[in-house]
Chains A and B, each alone.
Chain A
C-alpha cells in the first residue's frame, strides 16, 4: 500500500509486489479449492512420483514428503526439495488457484443447504486425498492410522487437561480399558481364542460389530472414569493428578493380572477391522462431536469451572455434572482410540499404557496447545510427523523431541496454538475478494 507522507511515497518493489499478488490470489481460495489442489497433487504423485524420485537420485518415492531425507540422507536434500516442489506444491498451488472461482461458486451454493451437506462433501474430499496419498505404501497407511488415532487421543485429553484445566494422568488407563474391552468383544465374536473359545458369529457382521466393539471400549473407559471423576468433586489440582496417576497404575496392574486376556504377555489376534476409512470416520466423528461440545454453552461451562468454580456455581452451572461430563466424555474417546489402536496393530499389552504413554499423550496436548481443537490436531500430527522425520536419528530422537518440548514449554507454556476456536462455518464458506487497496 503506498504510504504518502509529506510527498514521500514508497513503491513496492517487483518481487514483493508479486508475492503480495500471490498472497491475495491464494487468499481467495476456499477450503474446497485447497482440497482439490491436494487431490491433484497426490494424483500427480501417483503417476509421476516414482520416475521423478529416481531422476533426482532417490531410490524410491519419499515416504513422508521427503522429511526422512533431512536427517537420513542429507545429500539428497536438493533433490528432495525439487521433488516436493514439483509433485506437491506446484500442482497444489496451480489447481487451487485455478479452481478458486468454481470452488467459491460451489461453496456459495452449498451455503443454501444445511451445513451437514457441505461438511460431508469436504470430509469426503479430504478422505479421497488421504487415501490416495496412503495408497502408495503400507508405511503411509500405518502412519496415517496412527496419526488419526493420536488426534482422537490428544483431543480427548485436551477436554480435561485444557478445557477444564485439570492435570489428569489417567488417559493411558482409559486407553487400556478401551483397547482391551474392544478386543475382547471382537475376539469373542470372530476369533478362535485359547481361553475365550470359538467365535460366536460368522465373519459377515464384522462391519456392524466393530463400531459396537469400539463403543463398548469407550463405555468401559467411561465407567472407569468414574473413579477419577467422583474424587474430582472434592479435590482439585495436585491431588487429582495423584489420584489419576494411581488410577493408571491400577488399571495397568489389573490387566497384568488378568490371565484371561493374557496378563502381562498381552492379547493378540484381533481381527483386521481397523481399515483406513473406519479410522478416518471415527476420527472425524471425534473431532466434530468434541468441537461441537466445547463451542456450546454447556461446553464452555468447563472453562467456567476451570477459571473460577465458585463463580460458576453461583451462576447456575451444575459443576458436578460438568466435571462428570468432561471426564466421562474424554474417557469415552480415549477408550475408542485405544480400541482402534488395538485393532490396527492387532496386539495389545499392558506395558504400552504406562508412564511412557502418559508422557507421549501429555506431550501432544501441550505441544499443540491447551483449550484448542486446532491445537490438538497440530500437536498430534506434529509429534507423529516429527517422530517419523527424526527416525534416522534412532535413539537420539528421544533427546531431540523432549528438548523441543521443553523449549515450547519455556517460550509458550500453554502450547503452540492454545485457546484458539475452531469455527467450522468459517472454514466452509467461500472466500471473498479482499477489498481494493
Chain B
C-alpha cells in the first residue's frame, strides 16, 4: 500500500509536467486549429530561460549585491521566465504562424517543426552542448507519512501546477479573453465578424500556452536538475499525445490526460522493466485512440487537412 501511494505521488508529479505542457498544445489546437509542433521546444526554452534567470539571481545573491532568500528567487524566476517565454511564444506566432493563417494546415505543421529545430539549434549555439544544472533553490526535505516518503519539491511542483491550472480555468471561464478563446474554438470565422480581433486572441492563446510551458520547464528543472537542448523532444511529444488523448476543445481533458499519462508511465514501470515503459505507454494510447479517435472529452469532429 505504501509503495502504491508512493507511486501515486510520483505519478502526480510526472503528470504535472505533461498536463501543463498539454494545456498549451490543447489551447492552441482548440482556438487556432493548429498543432504547434514547436511547443515542446518552447517548454525547453522556458526551462533554459528559467535556468539563466535563477542562476543570475543566485550569483547576485552570493555576491552580496542582491541578497534575496531562495524562495523569492524561485518565485521571481517562475514569474519572469513565464513572461519572457510568453513573449517568445508571441514572436513565434507572429513570424511563423500568422502568415500561414490561410495556408493548408499541413504547411503550418511543417513550420512548427522547423521553428522547433531553430530553437534547439539556437540553444546549442548559444550555450554549447554541455548540459546545464538547474541551481538548487529548494532545500530538499523529506516527510514521512505512514511509510510514504514525500519530498517537499514534489509537493511544491504538484501544488504550483494545480494552482496554475486553476488560474487558467478562471481565465478561460471568467474573463473576456477566455470567452474570446472559447468562441474561436467553436467558430473562428464568426469571431472577427463580431468585432473581436481574432489575431489578439491568437496572441493571447500563444502567450498563455507558452507561459504554462515555461512554468512546466522550471518545475522540471527543479525535479530533474539536468537540462539538455533536446528535452523538448522527449517530454514535449508525450505531452502532445496526451493533449490529443484529452480531446479537441477540452482544456480539462488535456490536463486530465496529462496526469493519466503520468500515471500510465509510473505504474507501467512498476510492472515492466523501464525500457519498455515508453513502448507500453504509447501502445495503450494508440489503442485508445483507435477506438476513440477524438479523445476523452473531444467532439467527434474530424478535422480535414485540406491541400
Contacts and interface: CB of A to CB of B under 8 A. Distances in A.
Given A359-B113, A413-B100, A250 B279 contact: yes
Contact of B279 (A257, A402, A405): A257
A239 B293 CA distance: 6
Interface string A409-432: 110011000000000000000000
A200 interface: no
A243 B114 contact: no
A254 B122 CA distance: 31
A236 interface: yes
B279 A253 contact: yes
A338 B103 CA distance: 32
Given A167-B106, A167-B109, A249 B118 contact: no
Interface in A327-369: 354-356, 358-359, 362-363, 366
A238 B107 CA distance: 13
A396 B100 contact: no
Nearest to A243: B289
A246 B286 contact: yes
Given A238-B305, A306-B307, A370-B307, A399 B276 contact: no
B159 interface: no
B104 interface: yes
A66 interface: no
A256 B275 contact: yes
A257 B273 CA distance: 10
A402 B111 CA distance: 8
A395 interface: yes
Given A239-B294, A245-B241, A250 B286 contact: yes
Contacts of B244: 238-239, 242
B283 A402 contact: no
B10 to A, nearest CB: 21
B135 interface: no
B117 to A, nearest CB: 5
B225 interface: no
Given A257-B276, A395-B124, 17 more contacts: A162-B307, A165-B305, A167-B109, A167-B305, A234-B293, A238-B244, A239-B289, A246-B282, A249-B237, A250-B286, A356-B233, A359-B113, A399-B125, A409-B110, A409-B111, A410-B99, A410-B111
Interface in B84-125: 96, 99-100, 103-104, 106-111, 113-118, 120-122, 124-125
Contact of B100 (A370, A371, A395, A410): A410
A231 interface: yes
Contacts of B240: 245
A409 B109 CA distance: 10
Interface in A207-254: 231, 234-239, 241-243, 245-247, 249-250, 253-254
A305 B25 CA distance: 29
A246 B245 CA distance: 12
B290 interface: yes
Given A413-B100, A413-B104, A355 B114 contact: no
B144 interface: no
B266 to A, nearest CB: 17
Nearest to A264: B275
Contacts of B109: 167, 241
A402 B307 contact: no
Nearest to A359: B113
A221 B201 CA distance: 43
Nearest to B298: A239
A20 interface: no
Contacts of B187: none
Given A395-B121, A406-B96, A410-B99, A235 B282 contact: no
A192 to B, nearest CB: 27
Contacts, number: 137
A50 interface: no
B28 to A, nearest CB: 13
A166 to B, nearest CB: 7
Contact of B293 (A161, A235, A256, A395): A235
Contacts of B107: 366, 409, 413-414
Interface in B229-278: 233, 237, 240-241, 244, 248, 275-276, 278
3 interchain residue pairs of minimum CB distance: A402-B114, A253-B279, A413-B103
Given A161-B106, A167-B106, A246-B285, A402 B118 contact: yes
Contacts of A236: 302, 304-305
B17 interface: no
A288 interface: no
A34 B305 CA distance: 41
Nearest to B33: A238
A435 B278 CA distance: 66
Interface in A280-316: 306
A250 B283 contact: yes
A277 B100 CA distance: 42
Nearest to B125: A395
Nearest to B286: A246
A359 B117 contact: yes
Nearest to A307: B307
B43 interface: no
A398 interface: yes
Of A238, A242, A245, chain B has the most CB atoms within 10 Å of the CB of A238
B303 A238 contact: yes
A398 B307 contact: no
B285 to A, nearest CB: 6
B272 to A, nearest CB: 10
Of A167, A356, A413, chain B has the most CB atoms within 10 Å of the CB of A413
A403 interface: yes
8 contacts: A166-B305, A236-B305, A238-B302, A257-B276, A359-B117, A371-B307, A410-B103, A414-B107
Interface in A356-401: 356, 358-359, 362-363, 366, 370-371, 395-396, 398-399
B18 interface: no
A254 B307 CA distance: 33
A356 B306 CA distance: 25
B51 interface: no
Contact of A237 (B111, B120, B289, B304): B304
Contacts of B241: 242, 245-246, 249
B35 interface: yes
Contact of B307 (A234, A354, A414): A414
Given A246-B241, A406-B111, A409-B110, A235 B302 contact: yes
B91 to A, nearest CB: 13
Contacts of A246: 241, 282, 285-286, 289
A231 B106 contact: no
Given A167-B305, A409-B110, A398 B100 contact: no
